[in-house]
């Protein structure tokens, strides 16, 4: 969980605590709701794998990490788009890309789909919160 703390701290430093909390909640709760909705739809449509997965509990703590990684990646991409070339932005970009790739690699099963969703939701929070401040 040290990686989760580091990712959260990086997002808080770059985007502030409110943005991190919003990303963490969106990643944790939003990805679970979306993943379970997809599983339920697939189960109703006859997927045996989705039907088996619908009975397995998943607590989604890793999705807070996914959301933090997505938020960090989006923060760095937006900063680069706006011309930032400092070392902190470069490190954030590399860490965000590496973390996003790792989370996506963990998204092979029905329940694991929420990892990729959490990355996207965390990134989305940063993009939406910065839409008025970083427009060109």
* Ordered DSSP codes for 24-92: HHIIIIIHHHHHHHHHHHHHHTT-HHHHHHTTS----HHHHHHHHHHHHHHHHHHHHHTT---HHHHHH
Is residue 96 a part of any domain in this protein? Answer: yes
Handedness of CA 127, 129, 130, 131 (dihedral sign): positive
Q: How far is residue 129 from each of residues 23, 50, 52, 60, 94, measured CA to CA in Å?
A: 10, 34, 38, 24, 22
Confidence of residue 52 (pLDDT cuts 50, 70, 90): low
**Tens digit of each residue's pLDDT (9 = 90 or more) over 54-85:** 566 655 678 899 999 999 999 999 999 999 99
Confidence of residue 123 (pLDDT cuts 50, 70, 90): very high
Is residue 135 a part of any domain in this protein? Answer: no
Size of the chain in residues = 136
Is residue 21 a part of any domain in this protein? Answer: yes
Q: How many domains does the chain have?
A: 1
Q: Which residue has the tokens 């996506």?
A: 104
Is residue 117 a part of any domain in this protein? Answer: yes
Confidence of residue 37 (pLDDT cuts 50, 70, 90): confident
Range of the domain at 61: 2-130
Please give the pLDDT value at position 134: 52
Is residue 136 a part of any domain in this protein? Answer: no
pTM to 2 decimal places: 0.84
Is residue 90 a part of any domain in this protein? Answer: yes
Tokens describing residue 7: 């990712």
Is residue 77 a part of any domain in this protein? Answer: yes
Please give the pLDDT value at position 115: 86
Is residue 59 a part of any domain in this protein? Answer: yes
Does residue 51 register a pLDDT over 70? no
């Amino acid at each position: 969980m040290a990686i989760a703390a580091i990712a959260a701290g990086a997002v808080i430093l770059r985007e502030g605590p409110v943005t991190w909390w919003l990303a963490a909640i969106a990643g944790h709760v939003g990805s679970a709701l979306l993943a379970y909705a997809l599983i339920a739809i697939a189960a109703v449509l006859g997927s045996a794998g989705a039907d088996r997965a619908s009975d397995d509990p998943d607590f989604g703590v890793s999705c807070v990490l996914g959301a933090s990684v997505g938020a960090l990646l989006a923060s760095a991409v937006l900063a680069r788009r706006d011309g930032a070339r400092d070392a902190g932005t470069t490190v954030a970009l590399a860490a965000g890309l590496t973390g996003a790739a790792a989370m996506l690699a963990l998204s092979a099963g029905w329940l694991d789909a929420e990892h990729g969703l959490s990355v996207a939701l965390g990134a989305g929070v940063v993009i939406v919160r910065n839409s008025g401040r970083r427009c060109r």
